[in-house]
Amino acid sequence: MNEHFDLLVLGAGSGGLAAAKRSASYGAKVAIVEGDRVGGTCVIRGCVPKKLLVYGSAYRHLLGDAASYGWELGSYKPNPSTLLAHVRAEVDRLNQLHLGFLEKAGVKLITGWGRFDDGRTITVGGQHYTADRILIGVGGRPQRPQIPGADLGWVSDEMFLLEALPERIVIVGAGFIACEFACILNGLGVQVTQLVRGEQILRGFDREAALVVQEAMQAEGIDLRCQVSPTGITGSPGALTVNTQTDSLPCGGVLLATGRRPFLEGLNLEAAGVAVEGDRIGVDADQRTNIPHIYAVGDVTDRINLTPVAIDEGRAFADTVYGNKPRQVNHGLVAMAVFSQPELATVGLSEEQAVARCGAEGVKVYRAKFRPMAQALPKRGPAALLKLVVEIASGKVLGCHMVGEHSAEVIQMAAIAIGMGATKADFDRTMALHPSVSEEFVTMPG
C-alpha cells in the first residue's frame, strides 16, 4: 500500500528543507526525498565550503601584512590539502546537523531519487508515495560548455572533493563562481588564468564596481583574459592544455564555471503534466506550477538563484498553504555578494539599470574611492569603492554598492534602509561611526 502524505518535497536543499520543516511545524504530515546528501548545494558544495576556502586563502595577505603591524613571523606556506580536508569535515558536521533538524521537525527522509508516476505519485527506488501536494526543490547543476574535451575539466561541485591543488589552473567563466575560485586559488598559491568571453567580469553587477574587482584581481597576479573563449581541452588529468582562438595554455586542471541549469533530469515531469519553460519550471507568485497542487522553489525555477531566496520561497509556501498566513516573496529587492578578493556586495539598482529606468538626467551617483585604514601601514591592497545611486526627483537611494573588506556585512544593513525607501537625505542625517569604511555611505557630499 502506498504511504500517503500531506506534502512530499523533492530535494533536501535550502528551499526544500525550509518548506518541509515549516509545513511540518503547522501540523502537516511531510516527507522529503533526496538522492544525495541532505543540505543541498549551499551546505554541501556551494556557499558554505566556498566561504571557508575564502577565509583560508585570505591568510596569505593577513600573514604578509603582519610585519607592518609589528608581528615578526617565521616562514610560512599554504597547505591546501589540509584546508580542503578541514572544509570537508565541517561539511560532514553540517550534514549531520541537518539530518537531526529533519528528525526533530518530524519530517520523514526518503533516501533515493524521486520521479513522478503521475500528478500525485512519486516513485523512489521502486516504492510509491502519494501526497495531496508536491513541492519540487531539486536545485540546479553546473553545466559544461559544448567544446571538445569538456569532460576533462572540473565543475564547481568537484573542486571541494580535491585532495590537492595543481600548480597552474585555467578557469573558464566570468560570473561569481569563476571569480571567487580565481581569488581562492590565487590566494592558495596556484597560478590562475581566467578566460572571460565578454569585455569584463561579473556581467549584471554595477559595471564600475565590477571593474574595481577586476583591476584588483589582475593586480594580485591573476592572468585575466577578456574576450577569450576556449575552443577545446586536450591531454590527460593533471597535464591538460586549454586551446583558445589564439593560444594554448598548459595547466594542471581546468575549472569550467560557465553557468548552472535546473536539475530536471529524471523527474519525469511530463507524467504529472508540469510545464517546463525552456530549462526551468515556471511558477506564479505563490510558487505554484501550472498544476495547482504542485509547487516549485529555488534554483529549479531559475529566478534569483540564491540560498536566502530559496529559503524564503519555501517558508512562504508553507505559511500560505499550511499556516493560514498567506504571503509572497519580494524578488524585487535582494542583496547579493561576490566573495571575491576584494569582496563586492550590492542591493538595488546598478547605475546602468537606474539610468535605463530614470534616464541619465534623472539619476545622480555618489561615490567614495579610497585606501582603507586597514591598509595604511602595509601600504598595499586595492581601493575600496562605496557608491550610492540616487533618483533625483524623489531623492530615494535606488542602489547601494560596495567593494572592499566586509562589504556583504555592510550591505546587509543598507538593504534594510533601501527597502524602507530611504533617501539620500536620510543617509546624510545618519551620524557616522568613525573610523570605519562604511561611514563613507553617510558622509558623501550632496
Q: Give the domain ranges of the chain.
A: 3-141+261-321, 150-258, 342-442
Say if residue 384's pLDDT is above 90: yes
What does DSSP say about strands 239-244 and 230-236: parallel, antiparallel, or unpaired?
A: antiparallel
Cell representation of residue 168: 597552474
Equal fold, 3-141+261-321 vs 150-258: yes
Instruction: Indicate the pLDDT class of residue 1, thresholds 50, 70 and 90.
Output: low
Percent of the chain with pLDDT over 70: 100
Using one digit for the tens of pLDDT, what is the confidence trace for 76-92? Answer: 999 999 999 999 999 99
Q: Report the pLDDT value the prediction gives residue 2, as an integer from 0 to 100.
A: 84
Asked if the 150-258 domain carries CATH number 3.50.50.60, the reply is yes
- Closest to 34 in 3D by CA, of 12, 17, 19: 12
Asked if the 342-442 domain carries CATH number 3.30.390.30, the reply is yes
Using one digit for the tens of pLDDT, what is the confidence trace for 288-334? Answer: 999 999 999 999 999 999 999 999 999 999 999 999 999 999 999 99
Burial class (CB in 10 A: 0-12, 13-18, 19+), 6: middle
Asked if the 3-141+261-321 domain carries CATH number 3.50.50.60, the reply is yes
Q: Report the pLDDT value the prediction gives residue 84, as an integer from 0 to 100.
A: 98
Q: Report the pLDDT value the prediction gives residue 365, as an integer from 0 to 100.
A: 98
Say if residue 196's pLDDT is above 70: yes
pTM confidence score:
0.97
**Is 434 a known active-site residue?**
yes
Q: Where are the beta strands (DSSP E) in 91-126?
A: 108-111, 114-118, 121-124
Quick one: which H or E segment has residue 4? strand 3-10
Say if residue 142's pLDDT is above 70: yes
Using one digit for the tens of pLDDT, what is the confidence trace for 3-57? Answer: 999 999 999 999 999 999 999 999 999 999 999 999 999 999 999 999 999 999 9
Residue among 98, 128, 406, 434 flagged as catalytic? 434
- Closest to 404 in 3D by CA, of 428, 429, 369: 369
Q: How far is CA 23 from CA 17, 29, 254, in A?
A: 10, 8, 42
